[in-house]
Amino acid sequence: MPFKIYYNEYPPSIGNAGEEENLKPLNYDYEYWDNHYWDIISDLNKKIEDDADNGSLYIERAIFRDKFFCNEINAIESETIREYNLKKRRKYKLILADFEDALYLEPDDDLYWYQTGLFVQDVGGAEIYGDDHINLSIPYFTNAINLNSRDHKYFYSRAISYQISNKHLEAIKDFDMAISLNPSKGEKHKADYFSERAFTKGYGLKDWEGALNDNLQALKIDPDYELDWELIPSISECRRNIKNSV
């Protein structure tokens, strides 16, 4: 199976969207960026101190820290790679602690479970636990689904986690649900869903005909899809494997 990067963009943060927007064009001006970063973190720390039972503030701080994590990682000084990785894992655990505090305070908020799942999925076991093979994002998405089973993003994200874990049949079931729940106005996302299901069908289940059909469906939904996003497996690869299996 080819190397693949899994990435989900988190929903916008709750209280500092305007300030974060101002940071976006300044990504390469690190001195300016660092100053604004610590101002925002200090402001969030003060808000949490004043309103410690507000789960949304913990979520916001966690997402903001993760989004601009290089500001804290660049400040880590260590003599060895091992020491650096250890300190980095401690930073990720600090972010995870904010997500867990929010879940403790407001356990019935399906969005919080989803956001925590995205973080754990994106970071992976290597960064938090020092083990590449640990993937603990699935239970977070399952809890989100149990609270709200009508959101296609929750099924799609859990499908990606199953895909990472090589649980291909479970992934297909969740991709099916995500596609069935996705509204017509979300056509771009629906093309993504077909393309990701094609990846699982092809490389996971060796169902190259099914993968081909899904890729063709993705192009039917969004004719420019292959120009904007690479189809993996490619249509030519699917056809080649179908031909070789005859």
* C-alpha span between 215 and 177 (Å, rounded): 18
pLDDT of residue 112: 95
Summarize pLDDT for 102-143 with one digit per residue, the tens.
Answer: 999 999 999 999 999 998 888 766 555 555 555 689 999 999
DSSP letter for 25, please: G
Q: Rounded distance, CA 25 to CA 7, Å?
A: 21
Length of the chain: 246
User: What 3-state DSSP class applies to 6?
Assistant: coil
pLDDT of the residue at 114: 95
For residue 187, the surrounding DSSP H or E stretch is helix 187-199
CA dist., res. 145 & res. 199, Å (int): 23
Whole-angstrom CA distances from 74 to 32, 130, 180, 194 are 14, 20, 43, 38
Show the domain range for 196: 150-246
Verify that 186 and 74 share a domain, yes or no: no
End residue of a domain, out of 115, 148, 181 = 148
Say if residues 196 and 159 touch (Cβ distance below 8 Å): yes
Q: Do residues 1 and 11 share a domain?
A: yes
pLDDT one-digit tens code per residue, 162-188: 998 889 999 999 999 999 998 776 677
Which run of H or E residues covers position 220? helix 208-221
- Is the pLDDT assigned to residue 231 strictly greater than 60? yes
Question: In 3D, which of 59, 36, 37 has the Cα closest to residue 47?
Answer: 59
Kindly report the CATH number assigned to the domain that includes residue 184.
Answer: 1.25.40.10
Q: Please tell me whether residues 139 and 121 are part of one structural domain.
A: yes
Q: What are phi and psi of 149, to 5 degrees?
A: -90, 15
Q: What is the CATH number of the domain that holds 44?
A: 1.25.40
Distance in angstroms (rounded) separating the CA atoms of residues 209 and 202: 8
- Is pLDDT above 70 for 221? yes
Task: Convert the pLDDT of each residue in 49-77 to its tens digit.
Answer: 999 999 999 999 998 888 776 555 555 55
Q: Are 106 and 114 in contact (CB under 8 A)?
A: no
Within this chain, do residues 164 and 137 fall inside the same structural domain, yes or no?
Answer: no
Flag whether pLDDT at 16 surpasses 60: no
pLDDT of residue 125: 60
Domain end residue (candidates: 148, 183, 215): 148
Report how far apart, in Å, the C-alpha atoms of 89 and of each of 138, 207, 209 are: 20, 38, 42
Q: How many domains are contained in the chain? A: 2
User: Model pTM?
Assistant: 0.79
- Same-domain pairing of 10 and 108: yes
Out of 148, 168, 197, pick the residue that ends a domain. 148
